[in-house]
Each structure stands twice: as C-alpha cells, then as structure tokens.
Amino acid sequence: AGGITVEGNSVRVPLTETNTEELIAALGTNESATFGCELAGFETGETTPGFLLQFDISIRNRRADAGTGRPVPVSDGSYTAAQVDALFAAGFEIQLSRDGTEWKSYEDYYNPDEENAEIEILPPRMFRFRNAAVGHDWSEAVPLVQGEPGLAARMYVHSVTTGESGTQAKVVNYGTPNEARLAFTIPKGDRGNAATIRVGEVEMVEDGEEPEVTNSGTASDAVLNFKIPRGPVGATGHESYLYVAYAENTDGRGFSLTPAASRKYRAEIQSDAPIETPTLSDFAGASWQKYLGDDETVYGDVLVADADTSVAQVTRIVFENATIRRGIEGEVIVRFKEAGVSVDEMNRYATINGRTRLSSWTNGGGSPSGMPGLEVCEPQTIGLLAEFPDYSSFMG
C-alpha cells in the first residue's frame, strides 16, 4: 500500500478505510475487542510473501452508534469524557493544556507544587497524546468539548442571628444555587476576660522606615512595643540675645545700660548675634516705656493714677451719676448718665501717666454735694469682678 515508510528498524504502515461495516459488526456494542492480525511482506516483483508478521491488536469502540452498520467517521474535536478516559486506559500518555503553550500531565495539572499552590487552576481546553509504551511523537493538539458558560452565582446575606451558647453554627440558603440568600446562625461564645494593655518598649528608628507596633504579651494582656521613625532633621537653630537700656526721656536722652532713679524709661531689644557694648543706635527701633513713677514707685504696683498723681494702691473707685454692667470678656462697663461730661475730661483720666490705657472714665472724687451717687454696687454682685483687684466697693 502507498505511504509505507521505514525509519531505522521501524516500518510505518498507514491503515486506511478501517471504519468498515465488518469492523463495526465485529465490535458491536462492546467497549473493546481483540483481533488477530497478519502482515505479509513481499519482495519486489514476487507474488509469494517473503515474511509474515502476526500480532494481536486491541480496538476500543469510539462510536456511540457501534454495531448499527453506519460507518460515519468521528468528527475531530468531539471527544467526550468517556472517550478521553478510554485513551488513558489504553496506555496512552496524555498531556493537558489551557492554551497550547504549556503542557502538563493530568497529575501535575490538577496537583500543582507548593510554589504554585495559590494560583487558580483553570480547566484545560485541549489535550495531546502518544503511545506511552513506545514513546512516539506527540499528536496534534485536540480540542476538548467546551460547554456553555454557566451563570455567575450571586450571594447575599439574608440575616445574621446569635444562637445559644453551645449550639452548632448553621447556614441556610433561602435563595437558589445561582442566587444564594444565606441566613447565618452563630452561637454565642463564652465571655472573655477584660483585656489589659501596657506600653512596652518604644524605639526610635531611622527616618523613612515604617512605624511598627508589635504585641509581646497575649491577646488578653497586651504589651505593645512601638517603633517610631525619626522625623527629618530640622534647621540649625541660633542664639537670641536680650538687651535692656534705660533713659531719662522717650527719645533716649540720658541713655545708659544701668538703671537709676533719674532714668524712668526702659527699652528692650533682641539680637541674633551678641553685642559687646550696646549703644543708643542699637536701640533706634525700640520703644521707650516709662516703668518708674515720679515718686520712684515701679509702675507694676500702680493700679490707678490721677493725671498728675501716682498712687501705690486704690481702695475705692467712685463713679458718679453712672450705671455699671458686666461685659462679655470680664470687663466692667461704666455708662455715665450726665450728658455734659466733656471728652477732654474723659480722656484725661483714660491714661495713667502716659503709659496705661483704660476705658474712658471721669473723675470719681464724689458728687459736688459730697453725697454718693444713685446706687451702691458691691463687687460680689458682678460675677467676673474676681479677675480684677479687690476694691472695697463701687459707687455709681
């Protein structure tokens, strides 16, 4: 017959037209059958066989209509699971593949090694085979039958109920297999002990490292150890130097670095660099403030003063013909009922010797008749007066 090839000690004889009525009748409905075969070899030009090869061949039934006498060839790509199992049982070596680029045995495909254990196993789409005993070349890739994709399942939580302690957990599906609605019953656990948390070690790590918190204790007695990264290095700091000077007037006349009774004005400056001996020019931008009274009383002790007189302590302030009420930020607001009070008179008492500014008020020396005003208001009746000096009384 044509197509016979010889490779070394191998003779390949293609068997065509084997799907005959006789073969179908011999197989019938059997899964397989064994037939005795004889192969004759002839020398060129001779009619008598030079040799006879006798052997048995096992044929497995691959047709669903076996024995019906209809020799219709099996179409490629229509292998069923039973047919693939038959190939395995026949001693063929089978490899599976998803896309034809990587082939694996059945065992390796469905039982990956530890390195690939977490990778999702997708079903194979093709297989190839060869005679396992002889080890011939692999066949062409044969597609596996692929069914229609199934519906994607959806899952919803129907309810979650706490069951009695000691009972079994339970899940009930109130939906369908493709649209599950799950009702969970979870038994109540035993009450645990109250947990305690303590701070263990706190370690500074390099800038850029991730912060870390570890528990060196237990779940109920936690000991938390912290690793905190250092922040970026800040800018280099610098020294700041404070200098104080004294003078006899607000223009700096009588400038000196040493206080004296005649030097009633004081000024301060700050410098980033040391000044060996500050001079008046160094205080050019400073503000000269009177800190020493004319009677040499330090202004920190002067509470209220007349425009021409300094006093060390006030025991009584009298507001004549006025009303007093509490403000919203702790101040005492005095409103005079006399419309004829001059602005000059108000302003004259609004400043204590040119230094301390008060809200405008008028001379509290008493009424012209020597009688007190309309009202007497004790300090404790004004809630925020505790923030002010404890005057004996306010008379309006």
Q: How far apart are CA 256 and CA 262, in angstroms?
A: 11
Contact between 94 and 124 under an 8 Å Cβ cutoff? The reply is no
Beta strands 317-318 and 322-326: pairing type?
unpaired
Find the distance separating the first CA and the last CA of the chain, reported in whole Å: 141
Task: State the average pLDDT over residues 289-307.
Answer: 55
In contact, 226 and 202? CB cutoff 8 Å: yes
- For 137-186, give the DSSP string: PPPPPEEPP--PPPPPPEEEEEEEEEE-TTSPPEEEE-S-SSEEEEEEEE
Residue 395 has pLDDT above 50, yes or no: no
More confident residue, 199 or 84: 199
- Share the mean pLDDT of the chain: 72
**Rounded Cα gap, residues 148 and 212, in angstroms:** 51
Segment holding 52, helix H or strand E: strand 49-60
What integer pLDDT is reported at residue 245 of this predicted model?
94
162 has a pLDDT exceeding 80? yes
Residue with the larger pLDDT of the pair 190 and 333: 190
Element (H, E) at 344: helix 343-348
* pLDDT on residue 186: 92
Is the per-residue pLDDT at 219 higher than 70? yes
Q: Label residue 307 by pLDDT band (50, 70, 90).
A: very low
Tell me which of 51 and 172 has the higher pLDDT.
Answer: 172
**What's the chain's length in residues?**
396
Collapsing DSSP states into helix, strand and coil, what is residue 381?
A: helix
Most confident of 44-53, 143-152, 366-375: 44-53
Cβ neighbours, 10 Å, residue 293? 20
Residue 22 has pLDDT above 70, yes or no: yes
Contact 23, 44 (CB under 8 A): no
How large a percentage of the chain has pLDDT more than 90? Answer: 18
Highest mean pLDDT among 36-50, 302-316, 332-346: 36-50
Residue 367's pLDDT is what? 34
**Per-residue model confidence as pLDDT tens digits over 88-115:** 666 667 888 888 888 988 888 877 766 6
- Checking if the pLDDT of 211 tops 60, the result is yes
How does residue 141 score in pLDDT terms, banded at 50, 70 and 90? confident
Residue 379, pLDDT > 80, answer no
Amino acid at 188: K
Q: Which residues pair with 172 in a beta bridge?
A: 183
353: left (phi over 0), alpha (psi -120 to 50) or beta: left
The tens digit of pLDDT for each residue in 73-84 reads 445 555 666 666
187: region left, alpha or beta (phi > 0 left; psi from -120 to 50 alpha): beta
Comparing 239 with 170, the larger pLDDT belongs to 170
175 class by beta-carbon count within 10 Å (0-12 exposed, 13-18 middle, 19+ buried): middle
Indicate the residue type of 143.
P
Q: What pLDDT does 172 receive?
A: 92
Instruction: Write the CA distances from 206 to 200, 235, 237, 266, integer angstroms.
Output: 20, 18, 22, 50
Q: Let me know: does 240 contact 270? Beta carbons within 8 Å.
A: yes
Dihedral over Cα of 185, 186, 191, 196: its sign: negative
Query: What mean pLDDT do residues 169-174 have?
Result: 91
Instruction: Give the pLDDT mean for 274-290.
Output: 91
